[in-house]
Structure 1
Amino acid sequence: MTQASNLSISPDTFAQWLQDGAELAVVDIRAPRDIAYYGSPLFGKNVPEDVLLDQIGLYVPRKVIRTVLVDGGDDSAETFARILQGQGWTGTVALEGGFPGWVNGPHAHLSFDIPGNDFTRAVRDERGTPAFTVQELAIAREKGEDVIVIDTRTVPEFTRDHVPGAVNIPGAELLLHVSDVVPSASTHIVVSCAGLPRAILGAQTLIDAGLVNRVSYLEDGTAAWRRAGWELETGATRVYGPVTEGGRAFGRDHAARFETKTRFPDIDLATARNWAEDKDRTTYLLDVRTPEEYAAEHLEGTLPAEGGQLLGLSSRTIATRGARLVLIDDADGVRAATVAHWLSRRNFEIAILHHAFARADKKAEALA
């Protein structure tokens, strides 16, 4: 535990902490506008200075955990470390030199989280995920082949721009909706995003779940489409709709086919609460449903953690390495199973909590 008189640590000490396997929280306190690709190459959880004191408890639930604040090189992290130590966050320190000192030092190759591109490329190389180029897609369409493009980004990202004709189904929602948007078992499914990460994980999710369809990811997604000199489509043109009973059944059946299924115990709410109060281990209660569902109804003390956003970069939400995760979903648990399938590769201990949330379609109302 860091003593109250120690407000900062050296990059050398931080490098040791990143590699020792014990619980460690890393919080990047810079403004979002100053952060490129979720704070690469360090990939700490971003909690900006203006909300840090109010939100630190959400992301670092246990005050004694070693918590490293990283600033933009202006020494503000030390000021906040002093304040937080005074409020009982005895494990909180600042990183000397901040983010600039880290990226220009000898340890910049170390990161708090596995970069999304590195993670998904490793998945692709290991599993042989098939690729499909934008040129191949254009030719297939010209020939009238049975092909559909599914964009696995969030609805706002899809609305901004997407490959013309694509249907939007965020990554964790795939197995719940794919049977309702894909015409037949002979349809070639091409999964797209803005580049590689979510397209690769989306395609491999469908493959791992045992779909009989031919499945590929679109190489470089919208970026490749733009480089080819073609215009992207804008607006929420074709967004997934309410879950059907057929979609639920399809999702449950195919999620059960994940080879990782048996690794994750189902727990009840009382167990989840007890884990969250454990003074010797950090536990996150993460609601992996859509933001609209979370806003309409959620369990007290849980964090909104849209499943598709957790798949490729866990530090979007999880600030403590080595923490235990409880993934909260509805009674079907399809999204939690999908997220667990990928987060397990990041060495988290994972359990799943099914809860009978109301099934009113708040998403459709929010998008109307």
Structure 2
Amino acid sequence: MTDTTRSFADIRRALLAKEEVALVDVREEAPFAEAHPLFATNIPLSKLELEAWARIPRRDTHVTVYDNGEGLAEVAVQRLRDLGYSQVALLEGGLDGWRQAGGEVFIDVNVPSKAFGELVEHHRHTPSLAAEEVQALIDTKANVVILDARRFDEYQTMSIPGSISVPGAELVLRARDLAPDPSTRIIVNCAGRTRSIIGTQSLVNAGLPNPVSALRNGTIGWTLAGQQLEHGQARRFQSSPEATRHIASSNARKVADKAGVKRASLADLRGRQQEPSRTTYLFDVRTPEEFEAGHLPESRSTPGGQLVQETDHFASVRGARLVLVDDDGVRANMSASWLAQLGWDVQVLDDVPASEFSVKGPWVAPVPASNPAEEISVHTLADWLKTGGTLLLDFTASANYVKRHIPGAHWALRSQLREALAALPAAERYVLTCGSSQLARLAIPEVAALTGKPAFLLQGGTANWIAAELPLETGETALASPRTDRYRRPYEGTDNPREAMQAYLDWEYGLVAQLGRDGTHGFQVI
């Protein structure tokens, strides 16, 4: 291993030895989803400075960066070094080098959890029902309750008729209250397969007396069966009484113990956070609302079901230590049981006094100090746009841009700024915006250097323009970059082609075989 490159063999050896590995794909999400190694994490170059410190907290972590020949990785190496990372290298040969060395590549996003879900069903034969069978139960008014294990916003987009939103980590804590009669059949669904399999198996593992089944293939299977979904629903779980919380806590701890989850006190945590050679993440797996009402210092809000689904996003250093906390002994233990099976060194904080949940408000990502920039108000921008000579660049997520943006704004990817500017008419001055102005601020010196013209920052970003009730427009009105910042998931939204949905399911069914070919996963199903 050299100071400047690391090979496929280096990364594979480190994964098998359970050493800390940060393998970072710096392309946008769409090309990342087309092909990447199993344990690669996607941190696009366009927002590297805003995400790196939270996702790779220890600055002397061995970070290996790659792209697919676009020239992004070399820029990323320098930016990471500027951020204080001391052990940064390029992947030898990039993605092509990985392939040529015999490395397996995977499509889609959050692949470790999806592949693991298929492995769980393969080993445990997790019970499931087809969409047609569930529809028949609904039609005959059978004694059944349907629990949707996705995030609440996903549930609101589309849901099975009559279902209730109970995000994954909440299932073991809430299911007894939603189905107090042990003869009530519980059906767990998500959009595809993973979260319904993990949710169903969670209830089975925790010893729930009810018959439990996954909705096979989730809302995709429901749609492919020609059945109707609901939209805009708001049915949610309620708080659980002490008696059921106690039962759920006892059962969850047994499951975690069986999975090999370790225990830690606050004193243990503080000691481990000071270890110079290990990365320790502290995740609060309660709901975002509970987190904001009070949480431990330095903890991050990661609702448990999403943490298990998107571990590669939240914990971007494979081989790191994960410490989980809640206030009930259920959600942390159940989430930890899955993370341990996913090959993580995971610990649960026990007996945390309520007084320690002392920090209020949402989680705030650690980011470097802001670049200085000359800021203008929304009213100044409105005047400049009327008089001409001003070009407005919007760096927000493309989905947000399409939803609403300032009239005349050109959407651009920061990582493709040179190409975007070359495609746009020259201007006397440039104004940059995004949702909050945070990402736009990073691009100010880059735009000034590339154009030789003054570049200004819209104070408070597009959010301030909206707050001032100034005009907005919608749609792909002025795209200066391709919309590759977001991979269109076949299981999201309500207008996906049936062929894409079926192809996604077929891909998921093949993941167990692909895990076998890769050989680095270290998963163990209890």
TM range, smaller chain: 0.7 to 0.9
Q: Which runs of 5+ in 2 are unaligned?
A: 363-526
**Pair 1:70-2:92 in alignment:** no
Q: Are 1:241 and 2:216 an aligned pair? A: no
Q: Which residue of 2 is the match for residue 303 of structure 1?
A: 300
**Contact kept? 2:296, 2:357, Cα under 8 Å:** no
Give 1:27 shift: 2.3
Which of 77, 90, 93 is the aligned partner of 1:94? 90
Identify the match of residue 282 of structure 1 among 272, 279, 282.
279
Query: In the superposition, relative to structure 1, how do residues 326 and 181 fare at CA in structure 2: closer, same or farther (>3 Å)?
Result: same
Preserved CA contact (<8 Å) 1:195 1:222: yes
Secondary structure of 1:23's match?
A: coil
Change (3 A) 1:57 1:272: same
Q: Report the 3-state secondary structure (helix = DSSP H, G, I; strand = E; otherwise coil) of the residue aligned with 1:36.
A: helix
The DSSP-based 3-state class of the residue aligned with 1:347 is coil
- Over the residues paired in the alignment, what is the CA RMSD in angstroms? 2.9
Match of 2:444 in 1: none
Mapping for residues 67-146 of structure 1, pairs under 5 Å: 67-71=63-67, 73-96=69-92, 98-99=94-95, 102=98, 106-109=102-105, 115-146=112-143
Paired-residue identity, %: 35
SS in 1 for 2:283: strand
Q: From the superposition, tell whether residues 71 and 168 of structure 1 become closer, same or farther in structure 2 (CA, over 3 Å).
A: same
Output the amino acid matched with 1:320.
V
CA distance in 2, matches of 1:73, 1:172: 40
Contact in 2 for aligned 1:41/1:115 (Cα 8 Å):
no
Q: One-letter code of the match for 2:221?
A: A
Shift of 1:95: 2.5
CA contact (8 A) 1:58 1:303 kept: no
Which shows bigger deviation, 210-219 or 234-243? 234-243
* Alignment check: 8 A CA contact 2:126 2:200 kept: yes
Matches within 5 A, 1:1-368: 3=3, 6=4, 8-11=5-8, 13-36=10-33, 41-71=37-67, 73-96=69-92, 98-99=94-95, 102=98, 106-109=102-105, 115-258=112-255, 260=257, 263-330=260-327, 332-354=328-350, 355=352, 356=354
Per the TM alignment, residue 201 of structure 1 is displaced from its structure 2 partner at its CA by: 0.7
The Cα of 1:158 is off from its aligned counterpart by 0.7
Per-residue CA distance 1:34-56 (angstroms, 9 max, x = gap)? 4439x755342332323322432
**Cα gap change, 1:28 to 1:288, in 2 (>3 Å):** farther
CA contact (8 A) 1:154 1:170 kept: yes
The verdict on how the C-alpha distance between 1:161 and 1:73 changes in structure 2, with shifts beyond 3 A counting, is farther
Equivalent AA in structure 1 for residue 207 of structure 2: G
Could you tell me how far 1:23 is from its partner in structure 2?
Answer: 1.5
What SS does the corresponding residue of 1:177 show, helix, strand or coil? helix
Q: Which amino acid aligns with 2:148?
A: D
SS in 1 for 2:33: coil
* Equivalent position of 2:391 in the other structure: none
Superposed displacement of residue 198, structure 1: 0.6
- Helix, strand or coil at the partner of 1:255: helix
**Which deviations, in whole Å up to 9, do the C-alpha atoms of 1:133-176 show, x marking residues without a partner?**
11111222223321111110111111111111111101101122
In structure 1, what is the Cα distance between the partners aligned to 2:38 and 2:342?
16
Q: 1:166 to 1:104 in 2, by over 3 A?
A: farther
Q: Identify if the C-alpha distance between structure 1 residues 299 and 358 changes in structure 2 by more than 3 Å, giving closer, same or farther.
A: closer
C-alpha distance in structure 1 between counterparts of 2:211 and 2:90, whole Å = 50
Q: Distance in 1 between matches of 2:242 and 2:61?
A: 44
Shift of 1:203: 0.6
Distance in 1, Cα, partners of 2:286 & 2:9: 39
Whole-angstrom distance in 2 between the partners of 1:110 and 1:133: 27
CA distance in 1, matches of 2:291, 2:68: 33
CA contact (8 A) 1:191 1:218 kept: yes
Structure 1 residues 315 and 259 mapped into 2: Cα distance closer, same or farther (>3 Å)?
closer
Conserved? CA contact 1:75–1:98, under 8 Å: no
User: Per the alignment, in what secondary structure is the counterpart of residue 263 of structure 2?
Assistant: coil
Give the counterpart letter for 2:77 in structure 1. A
Alpha-carbon distance in structure 2 between the residues aligned to 1:300 and 1:342: 25
Q: Any conservation in 2 of the 1:74–1:98 contact (CA below 8 Å)? A: no
Q: Highest Rg: 1 or 2?
A: 2
Q: Give per-residue Cα distances to partners, 1:317-344, cap 9 Å, x unaligned.
A: 11112111111111x2210000111111
Change (3 A) 1:33 1:242: farther
The question of whether the paired residues in 2 share the 8 Å contact of 1:310 and 1:317 is answered with yes
Contact 2:62 2:87 in 1 (8 A): yes
Provide the C-alpha distance between the structure 2 equivalents of 1:62 and 1:2, rounded to a whole number of angstroms. Answer: 20
Q: 1:75 to 1:97 in 2, by over 3 A?
A: farther
Give, in whole Å, the separation in 2 of the partners of 1:72 and 1:301. 35
Once residues 72 and 243 of structure 1 are traced to their aligned partners in structure 2, the CA distance between those partners, rounded to angstroms, is: 49
How has the CA–CA distance of structure 1 residues 114 and 141 changed in structure 2, closer, same or farther, with 3 Å as cutoff?
A: closer
Relative distance call for 1:353 and 1:57 in structure 2 (3 A) is same
Compare 60-69 and 9-18 and name the one that shifted more.
9-18
C-alpha distance in 2 between matches for 1:93 and 1:149: 48
Change (3 A) 1:11 1:267: closer
Shift of 1:301: 1.9
